[in-house]
Structure 1
């Protein structure tokens, strides 16, 4: 657990760079078990663009491990050989260190200081972590010249807040303009400030825990965020700093590594000439397939690129931005209404809807409007035109164009559909089940990818783990199926004794038979990537000499048409038909809606687990 975490932030004035802020952090952790030693491996990420002089840097770092040996406390200090620096990309650097001699019962302590040139976004302070926190204290001193919007976000935990005023003096050096006779004066000045000191403390904070259908874990912890709103220096007018998305869009469109790159689509001219006479949708799809097959993605995320265009095409590989900005440029060259859509991937956090920040975004895809319909495309995904990889299904993306920007719902058309028709019969001392499985959209794409990677036999073996009492006698996959539609057939069997009572579970595959929500309470939102449709129809041939006892029908609904589940079991002649049908329309649920969602899934799972009772007459 974290015994204590202490932060102290204040401002400094640098004659070369201007205003900066300095933050000093001290952390103490207790290691209770040997398996917990990974918490002694620490990583700090710094915003340090490879171009330009502004950056964040660590100005001091020290760490100690304390162990109790007998009645003596020993200290093991961090050495330079245990510190590592890695450049993650063109913007971020990671500093890592591992505390020495960590064992069961150790207390580790590390302290670091960071100086940052980016006063518009002060460091976010996290009162909640993935470990329980016994005590967290953050003290920050803001000079009177700067007005910040301070927001407590994430899971609510009570904090104690105190404020007081203090006098500060900031020293600066100056050089005067040439006076009479060309004389230049140099000197040192002092800028007084009536600053505000705020201290916030939180005690006994529960850890952030993983939960089913939990996305953007970084948005969950209780934390304090800052946004610089305005600056007013002495005897100067107010300067409003907080950006708008209009300003942000204009900046992006004027950048050589974003907006201007969209004009570099002439590399695709020869390919575009081959598309004469095609419809706009055909042109877009064919250009997308051409570039998808041409490029090799290096796995790097970004939304700006200096290479997008002919250089990226000639390299035939690159980052998401290299490839997808080149795709947008090619689509525009073909006369299509195409624009880049920048976004934050799943797990990276939700983009702030009011105040733009470059760090909020880490990905870009193409958006193409054809006949008033929006088509999304990511040439790194391997998916068909119009489909985004799941990593992109994270709330809204920002479509950026010269005419302005607008938000688009990245999950609006995302669907996961499964339809299973099954027939169960009793033959020669065995129960046999013949399944016809049809999948569409993301369900089909996932299966297609797995089958391509694993092969039919391995995939069938994994399926069989879902119903261990049955053996798979035959598995067929329609190899001609495309990525958006798959068709599989499967035959299962198991032995049965000619008993007076037979209990049969008809729902074997393709429906929720277990409630994924276990906890009584939940503090994080529920985030489904797509709408879900699951339909299972099972026909059971009643063996001669038996009669069937059937479960009761059920209809379960969530408010506002969020979801509906229908279950029925009916008999006609010597056969029984069971239908389980789920339509999940709502994709995002608040923590307050969790009890209703949990109950919905429990009722559904209970019905899908009910058995058909066959009794001898």
Structure 2
């Protein structure tokens, strides 16, 4: 596939013939640039987010859809509240520069200070606006405000021109700092209509539309206005999906335009069938699906030496995974083509997985390219066929009526488990041999990730615990551990097993089944733990060891985003503790169970004593991976009770 043929066709949504820029200022009144209220300069805190280091006083945007381009005028004003807030003085404006698709102009910026009761204005000199090339498609304009300090107000304004017919940029309402007021005014010509998709949690301060009248009576479109105030800063919440999914914003999806049915323009309101048809009829993409690769015959012969399709798939997958290195780039298009990537033994995600597709296809395995969006890229809108929503190609394989999703980019991936990074998203089939399949498929794995812990320890009368542990990790638990070990190295990885417990020391460590991805990863290590709460008469032991359940992630009273654990999960913690001579059991945690009302998460605990040994078993089972935000109160309550139970202690008393 040519590296930008389809990218420009869809990601940039079709180049239109350049025309004179629409006059946004003629439609909307000018912004009050350079007129700062003294009250804003005297402001010391954000009244709706007291610990904010800075706040957006206002962020005003005007959008005007012209007949061949869209003009955007933006004006931002920010108040610096603390020394840390001075980081806001560094600004970057990014835009798609390839083929002049987008351009930025009329940039102005200034620092406003109040010194001894006098307002001073210091403009950013034009020479200090630096244009940088981020990559082949993106450019950036960066600048830094001068003399910024606590109390400063900084503001900037610029115009963005999009030379794409009918395109309407998304309006981001929320930012990394709180926003006191934001407003969008849009002038939409009659030639276009949009599906408006809001993700707004607050109440609109303004939400209007009225005829856009030119001259005395001619209605040429509709003028819209939206405004909100007191928007909190965006914060990442535990087990949330991407920023793209959770940021408060409004998207505008072109649903109809002025193109004729026979126009050569890509129809932005097309269905998924049309998008598939367009991709499959792209010459460069189609060529990649039939590309001949050197040394293919040897690999295919090796695969055909096996009897079953499962064995052939495993052989080819592991061969590609080990022979070609992923360069770290996730994209849905090739840059140099799979032939060059195979020769170099390195490529981006599309190149690696299309090479995998070619070998599987030649071995007679039923397979198809599958366009996906990774969890950090954001989920696709299934009602809007947009190739730019995807950022990766993987391979769908059907064996004995069971579907598998393969990604050869990570050496720790297995062919039997769908990549964790695409779980709970939607894939888009591009099957060159079958037009009757469902084009959109939910991506999930019904087999849980499992972690099983075995602890055998002796309780010492001096208030110490000494023993050994075995941890068996299956599926994603295995993959995560292997990736973490490679990233940190053994010393830091072993240290991380302590989970920040300074009283815990790991004295030996070894692993098994590292290279055998069909078997669980087994970790064995010896440990010593100081039981610091113990005294001359009592010993206190918390059997919640090496479990990953040391800190409750759901303490906040409220939550805005869905909870997405990724996979289903199962944990089992088994412990055997030998009581020291001269001590008896004062109290043991009672056997108990806890479950969500729909049994989506269950917790069970069994504790018993026999012949000087205390046995403990905890099991935690997740039968759902995703919980919408409105179920958070139930999750929070369950987790509080579960962590209370996990942290109940065994108490021994000296005889």
**Could you say which TM-score interval applies, normalised by the shorter chain?**
0.7 to 0.9
Residues 38 and 259 (structure 1), Cα distance of their counterparts in 2 relative to 1, 3 Å cut: farther
2:322 to 293, 317, 337: 293
- State the Cα deviation string for residues 109-131 of structure 1 (Å, max 9, x = none): 11111111334441111222221
Q: Choose from 455, 463, 485 the match for 1:422.
A: 455
* In structure 1, C-alpha distance between the alignment counterparts of 2:321 and 2:116, rounded to whole Å: 64
* 1:91-149 deviation line (CA, Å, top 9, x unaligned): 44443333333222221111111111334441111222221111111111111222222
Tell me by how many angstroms 1:480 deviates.
5.1
Residue pair 1:55, 1:117 contacting (<8 A) in 2 also: yes
The offset of 1:225, in angstroms, is 1.4
Q: TM-score, normalised by structure 1?
A: 0.88
Aligned residues of 1:542 and 1:574 also touching (Cα < 8 A): yes
Q: What does residue range 64-463 of structure 1 map to in structure 2 within 5 Å?
A: 64-168=110-214, 193-231=219-257, 241-267=268-294, 268-278=296-306, 279-305=308-334, 307-386=336-415, 387=417, 389-393=419-423, 395-402=425-432, 403-404=434-435, 406-413=439-446, 415-427=448-460, 429=462, 430-463=464-497
Moved more, 375-384 or 129-138: 375-384
Provide the rounded CA distance (Å) in 2 between the counterparts of 1:198 and 1:84: 34
Rounded to whole Å, the distance in 2 between the matches of 1:103 and 1:257 is 54
Structure 1 stretch 272-281 or stretch 604-613: which is displaced more?
272-281
- Is the 8 Å Cα contact of residues 111 and 123 (structure 2) preserved in structure 1? yes
What TM-score results when the alignment is normalised by the length of structure 2? 0.83
**1:45 and 1:153 mapped to 2: Cα distance?**
23
* Deviation for aligned residue 1:479: 6.1
Q: Deviations over 1:300-358 (max 9, x none)?
A: 22101253332221232222112222221222222221211212222222101111112
Do the aligned residues in 1 keep the contact of 2:506 with 2:527 (CA within 8 Å)? yes
Task: Pick from 70, 82, 87 the counterpart of residue 33 of structure 1.
Answer: 82
Structure 1 spans left out of the alignment, 5+ residues: 14-18, 170-190
Moved more, 76-85 or 198-207: 76-85
Deviations 1:234-275 (A, max 9, x none): 9x99x9851211111111112234344111144423321332
Aligned partners of 2:310 and 2:287: how far apart in 1? Answer: 25
Separation in structure 1 between the aligned mates of residue 345 and residue 652 of structure 2, nearest angstrom:
63
Contact kept? 1:253, 1:259, Cα under 8 Å: yes
CA contact (8 A) 1:308 1:325 kept: no
Counterpart Cα distance in 1 of 2:233 and 2:461: 57
C-alpha distance in structure 2 between counterparts of 1:79 and 1:492, whole Å = 62
Aligned to 2:58: 4
1:401 partner SS:
coil
User: What residue in structure 2 maps to residue 500 of structure 1?
Assistant: 537
State the Cα RMSD in Å: 2.7
Comparing both structures, which one devotes a greater share of its residues to strand?
A: 1
**1:144-165 Cα distance to aligned partner (Å, 9 max, x none):** 2222222222434434212221
Relative to structure 1, the CA distance from residue 543 to residue 78 in structure 2 (aligned partners, 3 Å threshold; closer, same or farther) is same
Separation (CA, whole Å) in 1 of partners of 2:552 and 2:576: 25
SS of the equivalent of 1:324 reads helix
* Structure 2 CA distance for aligned equivalents of residues 118 and 558 of structure 1: 50
Structure 1: how far apart are the matches of 2:342 and 2:427? 25
- Per the TM alignment, residue 216 of structure 1 is displaced from its structure 2 partner at its CA by 1.3
